[in-house]
């Protein structure tokens, strides 16, 4: 049997195990909407004025009505990678020369990376005043239909979102399968794995806060002024408070410019509150820095003795350029001496190519000839920034026409083609059946004080599902919905 028809057959078998008829799906809609409202599976409703404030203008989070099939072996593989990537990020971030060299050409073509590196070198010159390192990451994967392998899309080291709401979707799906349709469709809610991402992330924030050693100091959450995804963040704050009793303050970078102060010993205080931990849910995009004030605030926070999640070096270790550099022969292996661990990590690397070396002409030509096989990525986070399909060809040609200097801002990545299925997507109270693909995110937490590793573990998951005709991903950007896995 040809590979493609065998793959089709396997996909159909997979989907058949989780599918229900449209009629049954329709019965799930009002139950799911009610459950979401009762259980805080919600976001701010942009159409309502004032919805940046908690409790005003709330709408259910976009979700899939049913979990999506996912092979258990690949799910376990992804979970297992969580602690490996924690260690890798920590080691890469400790190698300042590597970060600066890897990003040296990128910064010449990308002013945002340049600004981040400026902060990095200032901190490096002054000396790092905090030796407690906190990572709260999400590594994202897709299944490659051609090889059946799990391939990493990227790792997020700053503002990894949806630990809060993602945990709830798993609960919603177990409820839907158990209470609403189990008897009709023979679906087993036990096949939706427990998801403790919100508790684990709240807990690790609290462990870092404790390690700081001043119980009157707060956890500072750095937020965007127009945030609508704050309920996701509130879930972590709730568990942080319940498990550890830490207080939380929330400020934008602009507010911090006028309210944050450093004492001579490096203690950060905001409006008189000392700060133990800084948790960024902002600061990852150029739009988070509309003026020099916000950059000034970021540098001030970075100079402080507070534990940063992430520090500037963890932030840079999560860039797409670093991801691509690590995929080159023998680079990952410099940071991971254990051969077995390096193999486990490398197994999930997709094809990645830099555009800043002498040898890149061949891959550029290939991408111009077959752009549908590649994704062109700038150094950006948060969705909506990548270039796909014929636009890859157009952009590469434009960059070459302009002399080629702009190429260094980008990397090229092999386009992953995951299996597609019919999914029922629920947004703004309306549902539709779509041919969809999914991306699995594994949360992981890392905490180290000097040489002492306190936490290094995977922390639950997030599945995001989107119509297969859509290139980009991201829930906040409106492309994808939150989902959970049904293990096969």
Q: List interacting residues with ligand ADP (CB under 6 A).
A: 140, 153-154, 350, 375, 377, 380-383, 385-386, 413-416, 439, 472-474
- In the complex with Mg ion, the residue whose CB is nearer, 66 or 99, is 99
Q: Report what 416 binds from Mg ion, ligand ADP, none; CB cut-off 5-8 Å by kind.
A: ligand ADP
Q: Name residue 277's beta-bridge partners.
A: 219, 307
Helices (H) and strands (E) in the chain, counts: 18, 21
Q: Which residues in the 146-175 window bind Mg ion by CB under 5 A?
A: 156
Shortest gap between Cβ of 159 and ligand ADP (angstroms)?
Answer: 10
Partner whose footprint covers residue 324, from ligand ADP, Mg ion, none (CB < 5 to 8 Å by kind) = none
- Annotated binding-site residue? 380: yes
User: Taking CB under 5 A as the criterion, which residues in 361-390 touch Mg ion?
Assistant: 381
Within 10 Å of residue 307's Cβ, how many Cβ atoms? 24
* Cα dist from 376 to 142, 242, 336, 390, 412, whole Å: 17, 43, 28, 11, 5
Q: Which of 361, 355, 227 is nearest to 282 (CA)?
A: 227
User: Is residue 468 annotated as involved in ligand binding?
Assistant: no
DSSP for 49-108?
TTTTSTTSSEEEPPEESS-EEE-HHHHHHHHHHHHHHHHHHHHHHH-HHHHHHHTHHHHH
Q: How far apart are CA 57 and CA 46, in angstroms?
A: 8
- Compute CA distances 1 → 5, 10, 12, 215, 272, whole Å: 7, 12, 16, 65, 70
Tell me the C-alpha to C-alpha distance, in Å, between residue 456 and each of 63, 187, 259, 314, 448.
30, 34, 34, 15, 9
Annotated binding residue 386: yes
Determine whether the annotation assigns residue 379 to a binding site: yes
Q: Which does 375 bind (CB under 5 to 8 A by kind): Mg ion, ligand ADP, none?
A: ligand ADP
156 is in an annotated binding site: yes
Residue 157 contact partner, candidates Mg ion, ligand ADP, none, CB within 5 to 8 A by sort of partner = none
User: 282 among the known binding-site residues?
Assistant: yes
CB atoms within 10 A of CB 87: 20
Closest to Mg ion by CB, 110 or 381: 381
Tell whether 154 is in a known binding site: yes
Minimal distance in Å, beta carbon 375 to ligand ADP? 4
Residues with catalytic annotation? 138, 154, 156, 161, 320, 377, 381-382, 464
Shortest distance in whole angstroms from residue 103 CB to Mg ion: 16
Least distance (Å) from ligand ADP to the CB of residue 211?
A: 29
Q: CA 48, CA 45: separation in Å to the nearest integer?
A: 6
Rounded distance between C-alpha atoms, residue 138 and residue 327, angstroms? 18
Measured from each CB, the residue nearest to ligand ADP is 473
Q: How far is the CB of 47 from ligand ADP (least distance, A)?
A: 25
Whose CA is closest to 204, among 291, 83, 91?
Answer: 83
Burial class (CB in 10 A: 0-12, 13-18, 19+), 221: buried
Q: In the complex, what is the shortest distance from the CB of residue 154 to Mg ion, in angstroms, rounded to a whole number?
A: 5
**Residue 122, annotated ligand binder?**
no
Closest CB to Mg ion among 232 and 381? 381
Cα separation, 39 vs 30, whole angstroms: 14
Q: How far is the CB of 381 from ligand ADP (least distance, A)?
A: 4
Give the number of C-alpha atoms closer than 13 A to the C-alpha of residue 209, restricted to the C-beta side.
Answer: 26
Residue 381 or 483: the one with the smaller Cβ distance to Mg ion is: 381
Between CA 94 and CA 316 the distance in angstroms is 11
Q: Within 10 A of 69 (CB to CB), how many other CB atoms are there?
A: 21
Q: Which is nearer to ligand ADP, 52 or 285 (CB)?
A: 285
Q: Cβ closer to Mg ion: 381 or 458? A: 381
Residues in the interface with Mg ion (CB under 5 A) total 2
Nearer to Mg ion, 156 or 195 (CB): 156
Binding residues for ATP: 154, 320, 377-386, 388, 413-416, 439, 466, 472
Binding residues: 138, 154, 156, 158-161, 227-229, 233, 281-284, 320, 377-386, 388, 413-416, 439, 464, 466, 472, 475-476
Binding residues for Mg(2+): 154, 156, 381
Report the interface residues with Mg ion, using CB under 5 A. 156, 381
Binding residues for substrate: 138, 158-161, 227-229, 233, 281-284, 464, 475-476
């Amino acid at each position: 049997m040809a590979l493609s028809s065998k793959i089709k057959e396997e996909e159909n078998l997979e989907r058949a195990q989780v599918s229900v008829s449209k009629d049954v799906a329709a019965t799930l809609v009002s139950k799911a909407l009610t459950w979401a409202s009762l259980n805080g599976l919600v976001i701010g409703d942009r159409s309502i004025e004032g919805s940046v404030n908690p409790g005003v203008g709330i709408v259910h989070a976009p979700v899939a009505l049913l979990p999506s099939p996912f092979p258990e072996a690949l799910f376990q593989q992804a979970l297992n990678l969580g602690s490996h990537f924690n260690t890798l990020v920590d080691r890469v971030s400790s190698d300042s020369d590597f970060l600066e060299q890897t990003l040296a050409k990128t910064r010449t073509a990308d002013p945002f990376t340049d600004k981040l590196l400026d902060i990095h070198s200032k901190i490096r010159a002054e000396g790092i005043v905090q030796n407690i390192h906190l990572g709260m990451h999400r590594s994202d994967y897709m299944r490659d239909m051609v090889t059946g392998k799990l391939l990493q899309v990227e790792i997020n080291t700053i503002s990894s979102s949806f630990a809060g709401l993602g945990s709830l979707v798993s609960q919603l799906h177990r409820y839907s399968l158990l209470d609403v349709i189990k008897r009709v469709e023979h679906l087993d809610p036990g096949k939706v794995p427990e998801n403790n991402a919100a508790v684990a992330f709240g807990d690790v924030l609290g462990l870092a806060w404790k390690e700081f050693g001043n119980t009157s100091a707060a956890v500072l959450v750095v937020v965007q002024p127009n945030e609508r995804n704050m309920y996701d963040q509130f879930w972590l704050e709730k568990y942080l408070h319940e498990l550890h009793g830490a207080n939380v303050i929330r400020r934008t970078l602009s507010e911090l410019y006028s309210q944050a102060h450093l004492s001579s010993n490096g203690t950060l205080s905001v409006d008189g509150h000392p700060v133990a931990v800084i948790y960024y849910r902002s600061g990852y995009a150029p739009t988070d820095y509309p003026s020099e004030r916000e950059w000034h605030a970021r540098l001030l926070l970075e100079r402080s003795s507070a534990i940063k999640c992430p520090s500037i070096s963890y932030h840079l270790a999560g860039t797409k350029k670093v991801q691509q550099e690590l995929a080159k022969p023998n680079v990952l292996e410099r940071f991971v001496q254990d051969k077995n661990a390096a193999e486990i990590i490398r197994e999930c690397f997709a094809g990645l190519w830099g555009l800043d070396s002498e040898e890149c002409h061949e891959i550029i030509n290939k991408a111009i000839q077959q752009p549908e096989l590649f994704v062109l990525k700038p150094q950006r986070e948060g969705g909506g920034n990548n270039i796909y399909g014929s636009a890859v060809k157009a952009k590469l040609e434009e960059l070459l026409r302009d002399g080629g200097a702009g190429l260094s801002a980008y990397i090229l990545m092999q386009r992953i083609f995951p299996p597609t299925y019919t999914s029922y997507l629920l947004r703004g109270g309306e549902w539709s059946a779509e041919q969809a693909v999914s991306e699995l995110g594994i949360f992981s937490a890392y905490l180290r004080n000097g040489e002492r590793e306190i936490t290094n573990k995977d922390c639950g998951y997030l599945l995001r599902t989107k119509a297969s005709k859509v290139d980009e991903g991201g829930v906040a950007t409106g492309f994808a919905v939150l989902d959970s896995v049904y293990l096969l």
